Amino acid sequence: MLEPLDICVMLGGPSEEREVSLQSGAAVADALRSLDHRVSEIDPVDGEFRLPPKTDVVFLALHGTYGEDGTVQGKLDALGVPYTGCSEAVSRLAFDKVAAKRACSRDGLATAKDCVVDALGVGLPDGLELPLVLKPVCQGSSIRLEFVDSGDAWPSGLAKSLEGGGRVLVEELIGGREVTVGVVGGQLLPVVEITPKRGAYDYANKYTTGATEYTCPAPFDAEATHRIQHAGELALAAIGGGNCARVDFIVRPDGEPVFLEVNTLPGMTQTSLLPKAAAATGTGFAELCQWLVELAVEHPPLAATG
């Protein structure tokens, strides 16, 4: 157990996930104060910040661009201040859904058939079977996630997913059960199953109270559970490793986990998925926050990647 530290919780920020980040950061700050740490809070809403002079470690409660794409990690590396989560390089790779998917596929994980589109006016992709899932390549929280089940729906779905610019990852929809696996300090947490009561696990179902059921530990047999957890471990290793991540999969009816994405700064509200998984092992929210701080201090992400 560390002595009380000067911890800066970074929250909010300039991304489209700002509101969720503010909730994560407030919950983390309260938890760390309950453990007698000296906690300050910084909201880099314009992409700039100045840390308090005696900061021992930064707890990153940012989500989306700037927070998860390696930007803030690079700034903190330059300052020589340890932080929670993954390194700049790993964060940057994980945030790019295409790059992360290719890395995981090379290491033997199953992935959906896909293509990448970067402009309007492109026709329905050849070689992909409907229905399709459209995801901005560099975005989180299911923002601008679109489902296309017919050729007629393709132009509007693509336009919505391309709002704001960038590239869109187009994947064949995989049927099965949606799950997530947390990995903290090399320890695999219980599998969480995600079951929207209606429709897909989009932004609305993710953040509307009562819209989605979460089951932890997920009701798989021991062999299937091990297979899913091992896939989570392999996925994090494929992108370079780190102190904390959450890996999402669709589990096919035959039990094969199909990789979706790696989240290097998972949500940290009291009801977020990583805290739910930790709670299933008897680790409370404040204990989880303390664990992440200890990992950051004892095994800084920069050191882990050389």
Name the pLDDT band for 166 (thresholds 50, 70, 90). Answer: confident
The catalytic position among 203, 207, 233, 241 is 207
Look up the pTM and report it: 0.93
Q: Which residue has the tokens 């930064």?
A: 58
CATH class of 93-110+175-264: alpha beta
pLDDT at 303: 45
Give catalytic status of residue 207 as yes or no: yes
Helix (H, G, I), strand (E, B) or coil at 115: strand
Which regions of the chain carry the CATH code 3.30.1490.20? 114-172
CA angle in degrees (0–180, nearest 5) for 139-145-149: 150
The catalytic position among 21, 87, 243, 263 is 263
pLDDT at 10: 98
Q: What is the pLDDT of residues 231-290, one digit of tens each?
A: 999 999 999 999 999 999 999 999 999 999 999 999 998 779 999 999 999 999 999 999
**Euclidean distance between CA atoms 214 and 243, whole angstroms:** 24
220 neighbors 181 (Cβ within 8 angstroms):
no
**Euclidean distance between CA atoms 64 and 168, whole angstroms:** 16
Q: Is residue 199 predicted with pLDDT exceeding 70?
A: no
**Euclidean distance between CA atoms 133 and 31, whole angstroms:** 37
Q: Which residues contact 35 (CB under 8 A, 6 or more apart)?
A: 4, 286, 289, 290
CATH class of 6-85: alpha beta
Tally of CB atoms within 10 A around 209? 6
Which regions of the chain carry the CATH code 3.40.50.20? 6-85
Q: What is the pLDDT of residues 11-55, one digit of tens each?
A: 999 998 999 999 999 999 999 999 999 999 999 999 999 999 999
Q: Is residue 148 predicted with pLDDT exceeding 70?
A: yes
Give catalytic status of residue 140 as yes or no: no
Q: Percentage of residues in the chain with pLDDT exceeding 70?
A: 93
Q: What is the pLDDT of residues 98-113, one digit of tens each?
A: 999 999 999 999 999 9
pLDDT at 80: 96
The catalytic position among 141, 161, 205, 272 is 141
Looking at the domain that runs over 114-172, which CATH code has it been given? 3.30.1490.20
Give catalytic status of residue 118 as yes or no: no
Q: How far apart are the first and last CA of the chain?
A: 26
**Euclidean distance between CA atoms 242 and 85, whole angstroms:** 6
Nearest CA among 111, 109, 115, 110 for reference residue 132: 115
Which regions of the chain carry the CATH code 3.30.470.20? 93-110+175-264
Give catalytic status of residue 246 as yes or no: yes
Give catalytic status of residue 66 as yes or no: no
Give the lowest-confidence range in 41-50, 168-177, 181-190, 206-215: 206-215
Name the pLDDT band for 306 (thresholds 50, 70, 90). Answer: very low
Give catalytic status of residue 248 as yes or no: yes
Q: Is residue 304 predicted with pLDDT exceeding 60?
A: no
The catalytic position among 21, 178, 248, 272 is 248
Q: In whole angstroms, how far apart are CA 297 and each of 84, 146, 284, 289?
A: 8, 40, 20, 13
The catalytic position among 17, 68, 96, 178 is 17
Nearest CA among 56, 55, 87 for reference residue 74: 87
Residue type at 103 in one-letter notation: A
